[in-house]
């Protein structure tokens, strides 16, 4: 899933994916510690959205239809009111994703409907890099990942 940032030119990634290109598609490596703000509803420029990532300087906000707006963190205002159903679902997905830690066994559903599992290697701003038993690594958006109860062994 490639979440475009508003105001940034789209980049088409070609060839075999590398760890770098997969991280880029997921918004880049996320080095700041997770905070309670992830999944919170905020207003920015009069638009309601959900916090996906935040640093001291910037905040990435899901504003709908798979679009993410990056803004200065000081421009966001906490929102306490009811959320539309679509944003409430995104907020819950991000809050669940925020709880996942590298080394956790995760599951997701393939587009074919097949349930798969893997090891969460690295979290990014909008998702994670996940390793499979066969040694392959894939990039998955935060909305697709779930913690799995069993070990990855």
Pick the residue with more confidence: 111 or 97?
97
pLDDT confidence bin for 106, thresholds 50/70/90: very high
Tell whether the model's pLDDT for residue 137 goes beyond 50. Answer: yes
Alpha carbon distance 134, 13 (integer Å): 24
Global pTM value: 0.80
What's residue 93's pLDDT?
A: 95
Tell whether the model's pLDDT for residue 8 goes beyond 50. Answer: no
Q: Which residues pair with 134 in a beta bridge?
A: none
pLDDT confidence bin for 55, thresholds 50/70/90: confident
Pick the residue with more confidence: 21 or 104?
104
Torsion angles phi and psi, residue 142, rounded to 5: -55, -30
Locate all alpha helices (DSSP H) within 12-125, ordered by sequence: 19-25, 85-99
Q: Which residues pair with 60 in a beta bridge?
A: 53, 70
Which helix (DSSP H) or strand (DSSP E) does residue 35 occupy?
none
Alpha carbon distance 151, 153 (integer Å): 6
Alpha carbon distance 120, 128 (integer Å): 7
Alpha carbon distance 151, 105 (integer Å): 6
What's residue 35's pLDDT?
A: 62
Pick the residue with more confidence: 123 or 13?
123
| Residue ranges with strand state E in 40-136 | 41-44, 47-54, 58-64, 67-72, 77-78, 105-109, 115-123, 127-131
Please tell me the least confidently modeled range out of 4-13, 27-36, 71-80, 85-94: 4-13
What's residue 28's pLDDT?
A: 78
Pick the residue with more confidence: 17 or 80?
80
Per-residue pLDDT reduced to its tens digit, 10-28:
444 455 678 778 878 887 7
């Amino acid at each position: 899933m490639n979440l475009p940032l508003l105001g940034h030119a789209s980049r088409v990634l070609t060839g075999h994916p590398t760890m770098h290109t997969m991280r880029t598609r997921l918004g880049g490596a996320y080095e700041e510690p997770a905070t309670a703000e992830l999944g919170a509803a905020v207003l920015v420029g009069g638009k309601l959205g959900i916090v996906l990532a935040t640093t001291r300087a910037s905040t990435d906000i899901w504003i709908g239809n798979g679009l993410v707006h990056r803004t200065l963190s000081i421009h966001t205002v906490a929102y306490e009111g009811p959320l539309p159903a679509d944003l409430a679902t995104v907020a819950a997905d991000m809050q669940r994703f925020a709880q996942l830690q590298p080394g956790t066994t995760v599951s997701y559903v393939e587009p074919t409907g097949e349930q798969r599992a893997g090891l969460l290697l690295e979290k990014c701003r909008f998702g994670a890099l996940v390793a499979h038993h066969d040694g392959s690594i894939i990039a998955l958006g935060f909305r697709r990942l779930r913690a799995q109860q069993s070990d990855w062994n």
